[in-house]
Amino acid sequence: NHKAFIFDLDGVIVDTAKFHFLAWRKLANDLGFDFTEEQNEQLKGVSRVESLKRILKWGNMELSEDEFQRQMAMKNENYLSYVNEMDDNEILPGVRKVLDYLTEKNIPFALGSASKNARPILKKLNLYDKFDAIVDGTDVSKAKPDPEVFLIAANKLNTPPHQCVVFEDSVAGVQAANIGNMTSVGIGDSDVLNEADHIFTDFTEIKIEFIENLLRKEN
Ligand code: G6P
Ligand code: MG
């Protein structure tokens, strides 16, 4: 049976995915090209550096190392201007119910995010103290789909990977959970996240019975 839960942040707990998209798109537009929402799926769950590499490839552009760093810093500044306006009203519908249930039942749960902004964002949402462990972009060296971030989280929760459930909105994150031998729950479009063990459009579709079932049995 499953014993612990791991949550991605952007696009799962809070809709910062839309802010990442806006900020990356502005960067591309300023450099003179554009990319689609479909291409944006390939940026979800992917580190800041790797995201910019992919975007530049789409625009057939190369930047000097200095300019690359400058663009990344500008993107983050732009992204944080959206984040700074956020409060706990931005927690996605249905998420709190699940977190409260796990807290009440003393079931451990962690954050597993590629973002270097994860800790300040959780603080803005008043969720920072609710997590038993937080693993984010400042703690890992390998980006999703490498399972490193989730394996560290499982270890911090003292739970073997196969007894962990991962909630993810990105293709890379679902793959990371699967490669890490964890149960993956995709949050979003079932066509995009078809590799997930379970898929829901959003957390309002997740009933407490689903969580209880995971706690009772394997997969
Ligand atoms: C998450 C998001 C990605 C983002 C990455 C790094 O995984 O889904 O879109 O690029 O975090 O975020 P950061 O806040 O460190 O730029
Ligand atoms: Mg995400």
Report the pLDDT value the prediction gives residue 218, as an integer from 0 to 100.
Answer: 56
Do 86 and 127 contact (CB within 8 A), yes or no?
no
Question: What spacing in Å lies between the alpha carbon of 20 and ligand 1's midpoint?
Answer: 7
Cα–Cα dist 34/86, whole Å: 27
List all residues 6 or more positions away from 38 whose beta carbon is below 8 Å from its beta carbon.
none
Cα dihedral angle (96, 188, 199, 195), rounded to 10 degrees?
A: -130
Report the pLDDT value the prediction gives residue 161, as an integer from 0 to 100.
Answer: 98
Counting ligands in written order, which one lies closest to the CA of residue 24? Answer: 1
* Residue 132 designated active-site: no
Counting ligands in written order, which one lies closest to the CA of residue 115? Answer: 1
Give the Å distances, CA to CA, from 17 to 12, 21, 36, 37, 208.
9, 6, 14, 11, 25
Report the pLDDT value the prediction gives residue 217, as an integer from 0 to 100.
Answer: 76
Cα–Cα dist 170/115, whole Å: 13
Question: What spacing in Å lies between the alpha carbon of 89 and ligand 2's midpoint?
Answer: 18
Query: Could you give the residue ranges of the DSSP H alpha helices within 88-168?
Result: 95-104, 118-124, 148-156
Report the pLDDT value the prediction gives residue 193, as an integer from 0 to 100.
Answer: 97
H or E stretch at 7: strand 4-7
* Residue 10 designated active-site: yes
Counting ligands in written order, which one lies closest to the CA of residue 51? Answer: 1
pLDDT greater at residue 217 or residue 19? 19
pLDDT in tens, 138-172: 999 999 999 999 999 999 999 999 999 999 999 99
Cα dihedral angle (196, 202, 203, 207), rounded to 10 degrees?
A: -70
Question: What spacing in Å lies between the alpha carbon of 120 and ligand 1's midpoint?
Answer: 13
Taking the CA of residue 8 as reference, the ligand 1 atom at the shortest distance is 7
Residue owning the nearest CA to atom 2 of ligand 1: 45
The CB density around residue 77, as the number of other CB atoms within 10 Å, is 10
**Model confidence at 93, in pLDDT bands (50, 70, 90)?**
very high
Taking the CA of residue 117 as reference, the ligand 1 atom at the shortest distance is 14
Do 62 and 56 contact (CB within 8 A), yes or no?
yes
User: To test ligand 1's pocket by mutation, which of 115, 144, 167 has the most ligand atoms within 8 angstroms of CB?
Assistant: 115
For residue 219, pLDDT over 60 is answered with: no
pLDDT in tens, 176-191: 999 999 999 999 999 9
Q: Which strands make up the sheet holding 109-112, listed edge to edge?
A: 133-135, 109-112, 4-7, 164-168, 183-187, 198-200
Cα–Cα dist 74/71, whole Å: 5
Report the pLDDT value the prediction gives residue 82, as an integer from 0 to 100.
Answer: 96
**Model confidence at 104, in pLDDT bands (50, 70, 90)?**
very high
Cα–Cα dist 81/43, whole Å: 20
The candidate with the shortest Cα–Cα distance to 116, out of 86, 168, 72, 165, is: 72
Q: Model-level pTM? A: 0.95
Maximum separation of any 2 CA atoms in the chain, in Å: 53
Residue owning the nearest CA to atom 9 of ligand 1: 44
Across the chain, mean pLDDT equals 96
Residue owning the nearest CA to atom 6 of ligand 1: 115
